[in-house]
Structure 1
Amino acid sequence: MKCHCIFKFVTESAGGGNAFLTNLVNDFESKGRYTQNPEQAQIFLMNSHHNVEKVLTYRRKYPDHLFVHRIDGPMKSYNKIKDWRDDIVRFVNHYVADATIFQSQWSKLENQRLKLTNTALSTVIPNAPNPVIFNTQQRNMFLSDRKPRLIASSWSTNWKKGFKTLDWLDKNLDFDKYDMTFIGNSPVSFKNIRHIPPVQSLDMASWLKQSDVYIFTSAIEACSNALLEALHCGVPVVGVNSSSNPEFIGQGGELYNDPSEIPYKIGKIFKNYSVYQKSIQNPRLSEIGDQYYDFMETCVNAQKNSLMKRLGNLRYVQIKCLVLAWKIFGKLEAMRQ
């Protein structure tokens, strides 16, 4: 069985979904599980609210094929409560998808609470970064005779990424004791934290491998690629205790509920650094790829004696109109701003 991903891939940096799906497709291709030709596919993987027009076309063209929906969010959790993307996800999941892949237990529970999903078959499979780039090779060892190096990062300037906490650290962390670097975009002008503009993945991995502890301040995450990149580089994490973060940090770091706890949590890690580092447990991309394919095989076998979803004319028009309205609304918002 071969899979085809209905997604508009781009080569430049374009968000976590693009990065993960690119890596997943590469893994599938290396194992003979992927086809670029939809005519040769038995399974279609679609992502969140993306490329819906093509999803609808393929659902009608290949009514007896399996359509698996990878979703994150809910996007209402960290964006506007009136985020139309969740409505698109709900319609696609209810009327197009045969199975659902959630990226974390938290995301699954939140999507189900908001009644955004409706497939008989579902599972939870996290993401994993590119293992060629994000790994523990050539990682600098932590040395107690130098200042510990802290690092944080964010591509987004959304305040919900934890910039109030980073601002607090900039004003309150003991910089005679620690060095700290922030990489990415920030609405805060730091006075003590070194600010590096966004860098490409290879450079990001290099910065992570030179650092000792990753400070993760984003409170609402379905499955943060930035967090996983740090962990896969062997960097213990001090992260905010919310959403999916505890699922991935596990014993490989410490959780905080208030910014004032962060200095203590950092110190706690450095007292037993090797223990925390050895406790980092996150599956590699090859394992994640196997989990995806095994789930898809299970779904195909389960659906052999039952009909796949049929996309009627009414639902087809409804979803197309919703996507069109969302695009128009987005352009109007951009013009206002």
Structure 2
Amino acid sequence: MKISIGSNIIEGPWGGGNLFAISLSRYLKTKGWDVITDLSDRDIDIILMTEPRKYSSSGNYNQLGISKYLILNPRSLVIHRINNCDKGRNTRNLNKYLTRANKVADSTIFISNYLKNVFIDRGLIKNKNFTVVMNGADSRVFNTINRKKWNKRDRLKIVTHHWSNNYNKGFDVYKELDMILMSGIDNTGIDFCYIGNIPENFRFKNTKIIPPLELKELVREIKKNHVYITAAKGEGAGMHHIEAALCGLPILYRNSGAIPEYCNGFGVMFSGIYDFKEKLIELSKRYDYFFNKMKDYPYNAEYMCSQYEKTFLEFIKNFDRNNLLTRRIKYLIIFIKELFLNIKDIILFKLKIY
């Protein structure tokens, strides 16, 4: 079985989509799959579209390239993995663009029920062949080995990490946390470490800032801490909280987007800047309970990839390869439309709407 994963795998520190592509590619190869990342071969069985926005450095092709390929090779099954939406990116047209890109897909995989709700339950995507496969991180890298337990006497060390510098990653709460570091909470001193990129013109006063790190360095830095916080808004799923949870850190997480789906039962949830301090105190009091429970966190890459393979095989089993002429015509029409829409995309990109 040959699959093309439409991701441009990037070496060094990068976002969660890059880690997904690395994990899935590695797993499928161990199972005997032939894995490529472009559309150069004529005998591709499955095309996995992961990032259709053509200006994104993490995507190798989008619906334009796929429709062109399928005019000549209509036997290929197209699956669209949807991993974000407007709310998470603070954009206005991402939902609309992903809905448009999805017209080239035979099936759809969402990485959270939250995203399924955004696109399916609200009627944006009419594709009836869809499923949800939760994200997972590599437990060979992100694990509880050598994690540090808070002894209740030392300062409570809190950490978060984000590749993106989008303000929606939770900088309203991180700024508030930065302001209370001098006074601490409930007679407990606290430290906050931020790893990654920050918004332009954004400044911390008391927080330790570390630039993006390679995986092994990132894991070592995360494990120096006791609690992980994520205040991301409208996150389609994310990887940061999964990585921290696999490292064994109890999570203080925002009730927004898909984050509660991944963190429920493994920390304490807050709503925003007005209650996160109260919830942090609660987490500090229940720290031992959550510290012991983190070893049961289920979202690892091995399980995620096995679910992707299972889903691929189910989709391809039910894939109707009859009437190839109709498929060719369908994708010819999509290809022609996309050629004209490219002009619009260029304009919107320059206006920074997508």
Structures share fold, TM-score greater than 0.5 = yes
Range 238-247 or range 262-271, more displaced: 262-271
Find the partner of 1:43 among 41, 46, 49: 46
1:162-311 alignment, distance < 5 Å: 162-173=170-181, 174-175=183-184, 177-187=189-199, 188-280=202-294, 281-304=297-320, 309-310=327-328, 311=330
Moved more, 38-47 or 211-220: 38-47
Alignment gaps of 5+ in structure 2: 53-58
User: 1:88·1:322 contact (CA, 8 Å) conserved in 2?
Assistant: no
Distance of 1:111 and 1:298 partners within structure 2: 22
Matches within 5 A, 1:77-226: 78-81=89-92, 83=93, 85-94=94-103, 96-113=104-121, 115-173=123-181, 174-175=183-184, 177-187=189-199, 188-226=202-240
The reply on whether 1:71 has 2:79 as its aligned counterpart is no
| Count, aligned residues | 330
Q: CA 1:7–1:78 in structure 2 vs 1: closer, same or farther (change >3 Å)?
A: closer
Specify the alignment match of 2:18 in structure 1.
18
The 1-side partners of 2:6 and 2:41 are apart by 9
TM-score by length of 2: 0.85
Runs of at least 4 residues off by over 4 Å: 304-310
1:259 alignment partner, SS class: coil
Q: Deviations over 1:185-239 (max 9, x none)?
A: 2243222221222222222211111111111111110011111111111111111
Cα distance in 1 for residues equivalent to 2:264 and 2:239: 16
Q: Within 1, Cα distance between the matches of 2:122 and 2:128?
A: 17
The one-letter code of the counterpart of 1:166 is Y
Q: Distance in 2 between matches of 1:72 and 1:164?
A: 23
Q: Which residue of 1 aligns with 2:65?
A: 54
> Is contact 2:79-2:109 (8 Å) kept?
yes
Give the distance between the partners of 2:261 and 2:309, measured in 1 at CA. Answer: 22
Question: Normalised by the size of structure 1, how large is the TM-score?
Answer: 0.89
Please state whether the residue corresponding to 2:70 is helix, strand or coil: helix
Tell me the secondary structure at the aligned position of residue 70 of structure 1. strand
Name the Cα RMSD after superposition.
2.3
**Partners in 2 of 1:123 and 1:303 — Cα distance?**
15
Distance 1:110 1:64 in 2: 30
CA separation of 1:9 and 1:320: change in aligned 2, threshold 3 A: farther
Q: Secondary structure at the match of 1:203?
A: helix
